[in-house]
Structure 1
Amino acid sequence: MGITNNYIIEIVKKKTNPNDSPLTLNSLLIQFSSIQCIVEATVKNGDNKSFKNFIEGIPNVEFCYRILIKACFMLKLQFESFSKVEEFINDVSPYATNVNHFIFSKVQTTMKFSE
């Protein structure tokens, strides 16, 4: 019985936004080997602009939505290590308080709209 040394991964990405970054081997490695975290951020002193400027400068943010009710923003970030998570928490603290939810797995869903 032989040992498989190489794998071929075929990935098809539907580009929905012309501003999406290209899919690279590095981005794939980050997706498969990273710590993923959903963050609820509540800005301090209503300073949304400073928070948004800070978040726009972070390369490991997958999405950031402004939301309503309990928190001000919902983000998904990917980190190389827990020390990088801690670094993010320290860096964001002048702008917002945060609650972090670590992702263990994804549940497959199919979104359907009934007419």
Structure 2
Amino acid sequence: MDQIDTEILQQLQRSAKISMKELATIVHLSSPAVIERVKKLEEQGIIEGYTTKVNLKKINRSIQAIILFKSIDCKSLSNFCNAHPDVLECYRVAGEISYIVKIATYSVETLEQFIDDAMPYGTPSTNIVLSRTENSVIKPFTLE
């Protein structure tokens, strides 16, 4: 990957809907050259896909929480999380905690229900998200 590929990645992360013509203008290449570079980045697996970012508040999921689990049944907790509609992300981690689960739900009551339903799989520690920041543009790591 060169500097132009890095800039293409950054622009696509800012807006996956950017036109190839506009992207070409930004990186100072022709549209066919940019299309070819994007295609190569996709073929190499550097670009895995394109997603839509959803405003959780506008779809009635304004309560977000990070729940840490000391799991007694990792496989069952993983299956429960994968099937639950409120779960956004689920990470199995090493250490004292075995799972970190991020959920977005409708209310404190539905958060409580999630916790109650998850209790058979481990001991939860719930942290309600008050605010968040996100680094939506990730640069490749380079050794210099």
Give the structure-1-normalised TM-score.
Answer: 0.68
Cα distance, 1:114 vs. partner? 5.4
Partner in structure 2 of residue 29 of structure 1: 58
Preserved contact between residue 30 and residue 78 of structure 1 (Cα < 8 Å): no
In structure 2, relative to structure 1, the CA distance for the partners of 1:67 and 1:92 (3 Å cut) is: same
Q: Give the C-alpha shift of residue 30 in structure 1.
A: 3.1
Q: Distance in 1 between matches of 2:77 and 2:142?
A: 37
The equivalent residue for 1:39 is 67
Task: State the Cα distance separating 1:38 from its structure 2 match.
Answer: 0.6
**1:1-115 to 2 correspondences below 5 Å:** 12=15, 29-30=58-59, 34-44=62-72, 47-109=73-135, 113=141, 115=143
Q: Aligned-pair RMSD on alpha carbons?
A: 3.1
- How many angstroms apart in 2 are the aligned matches of 1:82 and 1:57? 20
Give the Cα–Cα distance (whole angstroms) in 2 for the partners of residues 64 and 101 of structure 1: 15
Q: Rate the CA distance shift 1:13–1:43 in 2: closer, same or farther, 3 A.
A: farther
| CA contact 2:67–2:127 (8 Å) conserved in 1 | yes
Higher strand share: 1
Higher helix share: 2
Higher relative contact order (CA 8 A, sep 6+): 1
Mark the structure with the bigger radius of gyration: 2
Q: Distance in 2 between matches of 1:19 and 1:68?
A: 30
Give ranges in structure 2 of 5+ residues lacking alignment.
1-14, 18-46
> Take 1:24 and 1:51, find their aligned partners in 2: how far apart are those partners?
26
Number of matched residues?
99
